[in-house]
Amino acid sequence: MMRTRPLKVALLGCGVVGSEVARIMTTHADDLTARIGAPVELAGIAVRRPGRVRAGVPADLITTDATALVKRGDIDVVVEVIGGLEPARALISTAFEHGASVVSANKALLAEDGAALHAKAEEHGADLYYEAAVAGAIPLVRPLRESLAGDKVNRVLGIVNGTTNFILDKMDTSGAGYTEALDEATALGYAEADPTADVEGFDAAAKAAILAGIAFHTRVRLDDVYREGMTEVTAADFASAKQMGCTIKLLAICERAADGRSVTARVHPAMIPLSHPLASVREAYNAVFVEAEAAGQLMFYGPGAGGSPTASAVLGDLVAVCRNKLGETTGPGESAYTRLPVSPMGEVVTRYHISLDVADKPGVLAQVATVFAEHGVSIDTVRQQGKDGEASLVVVTHRATDAALSATVGALRRLDTVRGVASIMRVEGE
Amino acid sequence: MMRTRPLKVALLGCGVVGSEVARIMTTHADDLTARIGAPVELAGIAVRRPGRVRAGVPADLITTDATALVKRGDIDVVVEVIGGLEPARALISTAFEHGASVVSANKALLAEDGAALHAKAEEHGADLYYEAAVAGAIPLVRPLRESLAGDKVNRVLGIVNGTTNFILDKMDTSGAGYTEALDEATALGYAEADPTADVEGFDAAAKAAILAGIAFHTRVRLDDVYREGMTEVTAADFASAKQMGCTIKLLAICERAADGRSVTARVHPAMIPLSHPLASVREAYNAVFVEAEAAGQLMFYGPGAGGSPTASAVLGDLVAVCRNKLGETTGPGESAYTRLPVSPMGEVVTRYHISLDVADKPGVLAQVATVFAEHGVSIDTVRQQGKDGEASLVVVTHRATDAALSATVGALRRLDTVRGVASIMRVEGE
């Protein structure tokens, strides 16, 4: 079935990822042809600043008019690696309208508007693939939506942001504070000049929304994801974690409720036991732990970002989408039939590690314990430490709802004997 | 496109895996219907011993005539979980001839005869899927042949046999010898009464053949895979490994040669550094580490065997194959276009850990070092230990071919001062 007319690809964006996609499409053209069953060629590359195009990218393919490229009429597949909401969204829509399938690495857009884009793809009989949008090179979208298509996923627990994992790993291994570790991440190119999207958890939250939607066959939007950044994690938190046999990771957690009738999605720093496979994910690596009813516990590990790894994911999707084009079919589209609602953070059930600064006098522990009991939060362990008239109390709870924990902490703050709540951290992965 | 006639599935085999497939197809019928886009029904279950069929499996579907079931003419998909070469091979061929696609968990058959089966599937426009044949529930076949379809895999390094990993983990953590650890594995149901296929590496070798073929887009048969079992690994080997900051795993290793013109596939026990992600794979878990040119280092981890996990993989394939049927298309078939030859073990390049029992007298180290030098095997470290007139010499080499190492060991055995070669173990994952 080797056809002679090559499949034509329009590449939107030619930065770190796009230039790698262009390079590999050129250097590995024969392999791609063999794997697709037909030659595939770069028909055009749309960029904003043509002066910035990297060496090795064919200059004659460069255009600044992305819309005209997508509208050309002979494009089989549009590869979108611009990122951001606009003009990516409009260009993808235009691509579908002109008969192209789309491979995208755009997590923000997929998390924000995935349902509408999927609907548009289906309307036009096109594919929308986006393996590269979640955890870079790690195959995750395909395993979740295809390999586990006969199973029931109950939980996804992942390190899906390399920048923050690098910072937390550095704090863990060197004892550095947050600012010092961030500076090192910036110097090494792991953190951007403005690290907000990473350290405040926005990037991870977009990935959590995408993962939760696929895992539970429902729709989860970015706004549905509870989000806490990791800028307030301290060296003291790591010391506390170590005492518990834990480390601290920024986790994206998607769960099906115990009754199966709703789901939750959240991103926040959490303590996890050192024995958990995610605890040993170092530096800027990503890893996602999946719990499914029949499969049990699976983990997918690899580089979560970077030009080459992301290009690998884009090209895997490109091969699949091209094969579908040749076979005049489409791959699996959106699967959101369960229509499970997303519950608010207050309904999440987990364990908590709370550090309190308290007055160093008799009866404080009894007072604190009473507050926990009044709010139905059961205490697992308590550790008291005195220091110069002040004392600290570290409480680790059994499982309780986030709402109950919040109410407990509110009441603790009102106690005269509690000088302050030094930290509250969730404990996951047990 | 919800059609009313259900897709009909014939299940061949109803043991640990088959009965789970049947159970989940019944209990999760609505989910499967939603994910496939049409209802899917069990049309018949072929078993050898109808008296042994498990509770929960519909009795009216049971037949002992597998051939008649496959030939019925209305079967869309045949799920083969019998295992072994015959009658599985004949039944799968018959299935293709009668218009069915096939989902198989049969590693032995795929490793032995994958090329012919793929050709037959293609001839009849059918699918042959077999995610469950390698590492149980862990998505591996699909990620390798689809997610990494735009990348170049250079190496696959995996723990693909749960029984032997359980035994080795037990020896590592408890200091037990091989026999004691095997007994525990047998008592706990991790090892079969006749553990030969596992402990001698036959099971892992079949998986290595399948993985190498997919990873390098070529054909690798079971006979091409070098195989050493793990029955001779001793507590002393573990002690040596610990001194090097290593542990011992039974690894399946598939590599592209440095010049890219050939591949190798092998199964043997090896030392790997404790810092390697595979080192922390405990108990009966499996994990496969993949190195690809663009993606970098990926790892896939999960339960490598068991009824439910294997059923999960079978059902994921079933959903994909059913979707292909509905779309009147097929998924990716065999990709063996590189036609890379498989080199013999002698051409494999790796590092070695050699323990020698030597005479405790001056000049022995110089003699031994000369033998290594004469064979072009460069020494990394040497450790001497004296004990009661005898001495031991532990040599760790730099990278050398297996042929050079074998010749070196042959010459060492001929030295008067070498009383014996206590162990030779390859060192991987560095």
Q: How many angstroms separate the CA of residue A214 from the nearest CA in chain B?
A: 12
Q: Find the residue in A nearest to B332 (Cα).
A: A323
Q: What is the mean pLDDT of residues A411-423?
A: 95
Q: What is the mean pLDDT of residues B341-366?
A: 94
Q: What is the pLDDT of residue A305?
A: 86
Cβ count near B98 (within 10 Å):
17
- Provide the terminal-to-terminal Cα distance of chain B, rounded to the nearest Å: 52
> What is the token pair recorded at B288?
């496969």
Q: What is the pLDDT of residue A352?
A: 97
**pLDDT by residue (tens digit) across A13-31?**
999 999 999 999 999 999 9
Q: How many angstroms separate the CA of residue A386 from the nearest CA in chain B?
A: 38
Residues of chain A with CATH 3.30.360.10: 150-303
Sorted by sequence, the CB contacts under 8 Å of residue B7 that are 6+ apart come out as: B36, B38, B39, B40, B41, B76, B77, B322, B325, B326
Contact between B150 and A309 using a beta-carbon 8 Å cutoff = no
* Alpha-carbon span B382 to B369, nearest angstrom: 9
The minimal CB distance from B298 to the residues A147, A302, A329 is found for: A302
For residue A312, list chain B residues with Cβ-Cβ distance below 8 A. 148, 150-151, 292, 294-295
Residue A410 has pLDDT above 90, yes or no: yes
Angle of CA points B357, B358, B364, to nearest 5°: 145
Q: Give the Å distances, CA to CA, from B8 to A17, B43, B262.
A: 44, 6, 42
Between A292 and B304, residue with greater pLDDT: A292
Contact between A35 and B329 using a beta-carbon 8 Å cutoff = no
Q: Give the Å distances, CA to CA, from B320 to A336, B300, B303.
A: 17, 20, 21
The percent of residues above 90 in pLDDT, for chain A, comes to 89
Helices (H) and strands (E) in chain A, counts: 14, 17
Q: What is the ipTM of this complex?
A: 0.94
CATH of B7-136+307-326, one of 3.60.20.30, 3.40.50.1110, 3.40.50.20, 3.40.50.720: 3.40.50.720
* Alpha-carbon span A29 to A31, nearest angstrom: 6
Contact between A139 and B150 using a beta-carbon 8 Å cutoff = no
Cα-atom radius of gyration of chain A, to the nearest Å? 24
> What is the token pair recorded at B87?
């009658």
Active-site residue (options: A8, A120, A170, A207): A207
Q: What is the pLDDT of residue A1?
A: 47
Per-residue pLDDT band at A74 (split at 50, 70, 90)? very high
Q: What is the mean pLDDT of residues A281-285?
A: 94
**pLDDT by residue (tens digit) across A234-277?**
999 999 999 999 999 999 999 999 999 999 999 999 999 998 99
| Amino acid at the residue A154 | N
For residue B298, list chain A residues with Cβ-Cβ distance below 8 A. 137-139, 300-302
Per-residue pLDDT band at B110 (split at 50, 70, 90)? very high
| Amino acid at the residue B350 | T
Residue B1 has pLDDT above 60, yes or no: no
The mean of the pLDDT values for chain B is 94
Residue B246, classed as helix, strand or coil, is strand
| Amino acid at the residue B395 | V
**pLDDT by residue (tens digit) across A295-335?**
999 999 999 889 999 999 999 999 999 999 999 999 999 99
The minimal CB distance from A298 to the residues B34, B301, B328 is found for: B301
Residues of chain B with CATH 3.40.50.720: 7-136+307-326
Q: Does domain A7-136+308-326 have CATH number 3.40.50.720?
A: yes
Q: What is the pLDDT of residue A3?
A: 58
For residue A300, list chain B residues with Cβ-Cβ distance below 8 A. 298-301
Residue B296 φ/ψ region, left for φ over 0, alpha for ψ in the -120 to 50 degree band, beta for the rest: left
B17-37 burial: b if 16+ Cβ within 10 Å, else e: bbbbbbbbbeebeebbbbbbb
The minimal CB distance from B35 to the residues A138, A313, A335 is found for: A335
Closest CA to B108 of B186, B225, B268, B17: B225
Contact between A146 and B142 using a beta-carbon 8 Å cutoff = yes
Per-residue pLDDT band at A360 (split at 50, 70, 90)? confident
The A residues from 121 to 150 touching B (CB cutoff 8 Å) are 131, 137-139, 142-143, 146-150
Q: What is the pLDDT of residue B282?
A: 93
Residue B312 has pLDDT above 90, yes or no: yes
Q: What is the pLDDT of residue B214?
A: 97
Q: Find the residue in A nearest to B130 (Cα).
A: A147
> What is the token pair recorded at A37?
């069953």
CATH fold for the domain made of A346-427: Alpha-Beta Plaits (3.30.70)
Residue A75 has pLDDT above 60, yes or no: yes
Residues of B forming the active site:
207
Residues of chain A with CATH 3.30.70.260: 346-427
The minimal CB distance from B301 to the residues A152, A299, A308 is found for: A299
For residue B24, list chain A residues with Cβ-Cβ distance below 8 A. 150, 294
Q: What is the pLDDT of residue A4?
A: 62
CB contact B300 to A (< 8 Å): yes
Residue B377 has pLDDT above 50, yes or no: yes
Of A204-213, B45-54, B349-358, the range with the lowest mean pLDDT is B45-54
Q: Give the best residue of B134, B275, B288, B298 to mutate against chain A (max A CB count within 10 A).
A: B298
CATH number listed for the domain at residues B345-427: 3.30.70.260
Residue A2 has pLDDT above 80, yes or no: no
CATH number listed for the domain at residues A150-303: 3.30.360.10
Cβ count near B359 (within 10 Å):
16
For residue B308, list chain A residues with Cβ-Cβ distance below 8 A. 293-296
In this structure, are residues B273 and B245 in contact, taking their beta carbons and an 8 Å threshold?
Answer: yes
Closest CA to A113 of A143, A135, A91, A98: A91
Residue A386 has pLDDT above 90, yes or no: no
Residues of chain A with CATH 3.40.50.720: 7-136+308-326
A107 catalytic residue (yes or no): no
